[in-house]
Structure formats: C-alpha cells, structure tokens
C-alpha cells in the first residue's frame, strides 16, 4: 500500500527518540537524542545522516532536526507499536512498567504485522484502546495520548494561546534581532492577534507588545505550555 522504507533497528530507534523528544520538548537536538539513547553524540550524527538520505528528516549542518512528512508518519508508526506493546505487556500480562517498556523497545522492530494487529484486536476487545482511523488513540489511565509531535512555529499558533520559545531557527542578523526582542529560549509568548492575511502578528513577550512579520514568526520554534 505504502512506499515501505526498510529501516534498521537503530535507525528506527533514532526516529522514535526524535519523535518523543519533539513531543516533550518541542525539539530534538543531537545531544538530547544521544542522552535519550545513551550513545555518543557522534553516533547519533551518523544515524541522522542516514535518516536524511532516506528523506525522513531534514537537517542542514548545525541546523535543527525536523521530521519530514514521511519521517513523521514512520515515527508515529513506531511510536504506536511501542505503545501497543507496552499496554499489552503491562495491562494484560501484568508486567512491570519498566520491563514492559524495555521489552516493547526491543520487540517493536521485529514483530510481524500480523502479531501486532492481533494484539490490537485483543486490546480493543478488552477495551484497553479504541480504534480511530488508521492510528490508535490510547485511553488507558484516563490519559489521552495525543499523536502530534510536529514542530510548531510561531506563525501557526492560534490567537489567544500561550506558548514557550524553544529555538530560533534563523541565523545571523535576523536571529540577533529576534533575540534582542526577548525571544530567547524559554521565553513565554502570548499571541494577541493577527492581521487579516496573518501578517503582521501581534505578540506579547516579557510584558512587551511586539509585532512580527509572518516570515519572522515562522522562524521561531515554540511548544505548547
């Protein structure tokens, strides 16, 4: 059905780490991934090159790591598998969280589609998860797992919401300018309004009101708070 890319286990691990880090922090840096997987940063770098070649991430030298459309899809799939396995082991077999997680990690790469979908069937029947479109939405422990880990840029944020700056992706002069405005990492930003065409965008940072051009805002990576 799809253009199947056959990733090695370790490349799948990298992708999954990126997915989880973006979900948690809004960005995934080389060192974050290295810490997450407990391997050297230089090894991560090599892995990222391969993911880049496969078109799953896009990354310029020293630039931020972004998932492409297909990368996001692939990562989401792996994430789903992990989650399903985790729930299966932890909830239905009663395996400790630690081991369930660890086992999910080692198995997620290897299990056949059939076994996987039989597990899903079983979990649906026993009401641990609900089927929804082609992905799965978990409703265990009342915690809904949102399946979004795409990078959010400031120009895409709805008026009225509050976000936190993760990174400024531009370089040089523009970056300097934005940072001088107080848009540093960790800065809380509220989107006050947008002009009809979405340009300019009115924001409030550290008490000051600012107006940004849309392409400037598009350089600012944020996360929900």
Partner DNA sequence: GATTAGTTTTAGGTTAACCTAAAAATTGGG
Partner DNA sequence: CCCAATTTTTAGGTTAACCTAAAACTAATC
Q: Where are the beta strands (DSSP E) in the chain?
A: 57-58, 66-67, 129-132, 135-138, 152-153, 162-168, 188-194, 201-205, 208-212, 220-224
Please, which of residues 147-176 interact with DNA by CB under 7 A?
A: 167-168, 171, 175
What are the residues binding a second copy (CB under 8 A)?
Answer: 89, 93-96, 99-100, 102-103, 106-107, 110-112, 114-115, 118-119, 122
Cβ atoms of residues 186 and 165 within 8 Å: yes
| Total number of residues shown for the chain | 225
**Closest Cα partner for 184 from 175, 192, 193?**
175
CB nearer to a second copy: pick between 112 and 133: 112
CB nearer to DNA: pick between 39 and 218: 39
Q: Report the partner that residue 95 touches, choosing among a second copy, DNA, none (CB closer than 5 to 8 A by kind).
A: a second copy
The whole-angstrom separation of Cα 115 and Cα 98 is: 22
How far apart are CB 20 and DNA at their closest, in Å?
A: 16
Binding site for DNA (CB under 7 A): 8-11, 13, 29-32, 38-43, 45-50, 59, 61-63, 167-168, 171, 175, 179, 184-185
């Amino acid at each position: 059905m799809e253009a199947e890319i056959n990733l090695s286990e370790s490349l799948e691990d990298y992708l999954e780490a990126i997915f989880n880090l973006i979900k948690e922090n809004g960005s995934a840096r080389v060192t974050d991934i290295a810490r997450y997987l407990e391997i050297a940063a230089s090894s991560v770098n090599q892995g990222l090159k391969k993911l880049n070649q496969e078109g799953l991430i896009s990354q310029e030298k020293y630039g931020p790591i972004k998932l492409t459309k297909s990368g996001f899809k692939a990562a989401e799939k792996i994430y789903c598998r992990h989650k399903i396995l985790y729930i299966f082991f932890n909830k239905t077999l009663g395996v400790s969280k630690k081991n369930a997680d660890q086992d999910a990690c080692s198995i997620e790469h290897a299990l056949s589609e059939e076994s996987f979908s039989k597990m899903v069937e079983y979990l649906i029947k026993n009401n641990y998860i609900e089927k929804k479109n082609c992905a799965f939405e978990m409703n265990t422990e009342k915690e809904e797992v949102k399946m979004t880990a795409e990078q959010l840029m400031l120009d895409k944020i709805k008026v009225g919401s509050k976000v936190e700056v993760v990174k400024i992706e531009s370089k040089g002069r523009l970056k300097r300018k934005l940072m001088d405005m107080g848009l540093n990492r960790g800065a809380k930003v509220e989107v006050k309004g947008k002009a009809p065409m979405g340009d300019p965008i009115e924001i409030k940072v550290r008490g000051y009101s600012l107006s940004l051009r849309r392409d400037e805002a598009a350089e600012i990576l944020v996360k929900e708070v």
